[in-house]
Amino acid sequence: MLAFLPSPSSNGVHLGPFFLHAYGIAYAFAVVAAVAITAHRWQAKGGGRELVYEVALWGFPAGVIGGRLYFLATSWNEVPPHWWGPLAIWEGGLGIWGGIAAGTLVGLWVLRRRRANIPAFMDAAAPALLVAQAIGRIGNYFNQELFGGPTTLPWGLEISPAHRPPGYAQYATFHPTFLYELIWNLLLAGALVWLGRHRHIRAPGLFALYVAGYSFARIGEELLRVDPAHHLLGLRLNLYVATILCLAGLAWFLRIQRVRVRGRTVRRGGALLAAGGALALAGCGQAGHTDGQKPTSRAPAESSASLIAARVNTPGRGRAPASRRA
């Protein structure tokens, strides 16, 4: 019985003379799922499917462009060194923050032109976006990217040597952080659907919780990930983005619901956020299987502090051969 998850043998399939990348296939299914779920939920609110299709027609390409621009702005050193490198989205490289921002803004523009109920539409789309993001993460598995630090846990993911970042070549199994996010997104989508049916949530409260909930998960994920990233004061840039959006989403939700927050509530929320970060850091201390070891053997565990120091101080951590961050 394997004590780890094996890595895929290929990142796509051949169809005649064409090679279909799993990354692109996953995103195609993600778009279909998002449109179908949003259309069903919007129709249940008395809206028409045609509006959903129109929003998707404009919002999806805007999201791709926004995601690529965010990637180019924050990960320019990982763009393929060719004249067509900035356009090579088939090789990965879509920043989720830029994709959500651009897609949402263009979608709001369409809704405003059609004089639709914008808050209600945003709530209808929130769970669908989470499901789409979960499906999109499957492409990261085939690309062997967006993984965390070394681990010996049974669900540790085997990463081939060519995809391991500098400083981690001796390890074979890593935290599948994209899988953690996939599971979280589906759970959060289910929670939003339940809240919408069983609790009175002022629109677009569900969308605000989507922003806060997804960003909260990204805080823990960014503490675990070891793929190349730009750092600020020793921490990954996306960690700051996720923290700001998480707090902004919570503040937005409370404002929508017109909830007054007491000082004790704020302190408890801060304690929970700190506890989540501590748990994520504790997970970083699991050292992965090293090459040459049997999968069931355990490598000596490194402390969280030493792993963080390695991430900050390891020379040449600017780039990995096949990393496509989001």
Are 30 and 136 in contact, with CB atoms under 8 Å apart? yes
Name the least confident of 68-82, 97-111, 141-155, 191-205.
68-82
Q: Distance (Å, rounded) from C-alpha 51 to C-alpha 68? A: 26
Q: For residue 154, what are the contacts with CB-CB under 8 A and spacing of at least 6? A: 3, 4
**pLDDT attached to residue 308:** 38
pLDDT band at 129 (very low <50, low <70, confident <90, very high): very high
What's the average model confidence in pLDDT over 58-63?
91
- Apex 227 CA angle, 319 and 184, nearest 5: 150
What's the average model confidence in pLDDT over 181-204?
96
**pLDDT attached to residue 83:** 62
C-beta atoms surrounding 237 within 10 Å = 14
The answer, yes or no, to whether residue 218 has pLDDT greater than 80, is yes
**pLDDT attached to residue 248:** 96
What's the average model confidence in pLDDT over 213-225?
94
The answer, yes or no, to whether residue 198 has pLDDT greater than 60, is yes
SS (H, E, C) the chain: CCCCECCCCCCEEEECCEEEEHHHHHHHHHHHHHHHHHHHHHHHCCCCHHHHHHHHHHHHHHHHHHHHHHHHHHCHHHCCCCCCHHHCHHHCCCCHHHHHHHHHHHHHHHHHHCCCCHHHHHHHHHHHHHHHHHHHCHHHHHHCCCCECECCCCCCEECCHHHCCCCCCCECEECCHHHHHHHHHHHHHHHHHHHHHHCCCCCCHHHHHHHHHHHHHHHHHHHHECCCCCEECCEEHHHHHHHHHHHHHHHHHHHHHCCCCCHHHHHHHHHHHHHHHHHHHHHHCCCCCECCCCCCCCCCCCCHHHHHHHHHHCCCCCCCCCCCCC
Q: What is the mean pLDDT of the chain?
A: 80
**pLDDT attached to residue 306:** 38
Q: Distance (Å, rounded) from C-alpha 88 to C-alpha 245? A: 28
Specify burial of residue 29 (Cβ count, 10 A radius: 0-12, 13-18, 19+): middle
Give pTM, 2 decimals: 0.77
pLDDT band at 41 (very low <50, low <70, confident <90, very high): very high
Model confidence pLDDT, tens digit, residues 274-325: 444 444 444 444 455 555 443 433 343 333 333 333 433 433 333 333 334 4
pLDDT band at 22 (very low <50, low <70, confident <90, very high): confident
What's the average model confidence in pLDDT over 95-122?
92
Percent of the chain with pLDDT over 90: 51
**pLDDT attached to residue 251:** 96
Tokens standing for 112?
């405003």
pLDDT band at 10 (very low <50, low <70, confident <90, very high): confident
What's the average model confidence in pLDDT over 135-163?
91
Name the least confident of 195-199, 205-209, 227-231.
227-231
Percent of the chain with pLDDT over 70: 72
Are 111 and 124 in contact, with CB atoms under 8 Å apart? no
**pLDDT attached to residue 216:** 97
Model confidence pLDDT, tens digit, residues 251-269: 999 999 987 655 554 455 4
The answer, yes or no, to whether residue 7 has pLDDT greater than 50, is yes
The answer, yes or no, to whether residue 88 has pLDDT greater than 50, is yes
